[in-house]
A and B are shown apart, each in its own frame.
Chain A
């Protein structure tokens, strides 16, 4: 997890900690009942969207996130039934070759392929974007193993249902 994403998660998770304790709503829908800004535990993105005034919850909607995919341990953050598991990984071979350009580098593109999505072991940006939409659990074993705080926190997303 990159430092920016980690610090963002910790900041938002800290803000929402008391909200979790008050709601006690870990059973059933993991994200639907979590407060946003109504009682002062704001996440900046939900506050920016003025989410208390939005009637739509995202129920029945599919949201395609064209990004870096999700990290292999995404189940630590999201309910399994909220993620389509047969999504695609669009790949294209890249070959970096020294050329006569000013940087001594150019890129050639190989054949594009599509395969079943199996998760990304690199950038976590796609996971970050998905968490903004769906909300997320901070009870990540992966984070705990890496020494990060592990408070039992759920953070509401923009489209939690």
Chain B
């Protein structure tokens, strides 16, 4: 079994949100978007179609 790590989630610095609800301090968040996940699925699908030639 071989792991194929595909990074589709990323760390972000989120600024303070003083006007949001009770107000939030600046912090970090890890997230991705549907587009990023879809691009990752496309990537590994291409690998599967091509066999193991790409790695």
Contacts and interface: CB of A to CB of B under 8 A. Distances in A.
B4 A65 contact: yes
Interface residues of B, number: 36
Contacts, number: 136
A64 interface: yes
B11 A92 contact: no
Interface string A94-122: 10100000111100010010100100111
Contact of B1 (A61, A66, A123): A61
Contacts of B18: 104
Of the four ranges (under 10, 10 to 19, 20 to 34, 35 or more), the interface on chain A belongs to 35 or more
A125 B9 contact: yes
A66 B40 contact: yes
A92 B19 contact: no
A82 B3 CA distance: 6
A57 B1 CA distance: 8
Given A64-B44, A67-B7, A88-B6, A133 B36 contact: no
22 contacts: A60-B1, A62-B47, A64-B4, A68-B7, A68-B30, A69-B6, A70-B5, A83-B3, A84-B3, A90-B32, A90-B39, A102-B20, A103-B17, A103-B21, A112-B35, A112-B39, A114-B43, A117-B5, A123-B9, A125-B30, A159-B1, A160-B1
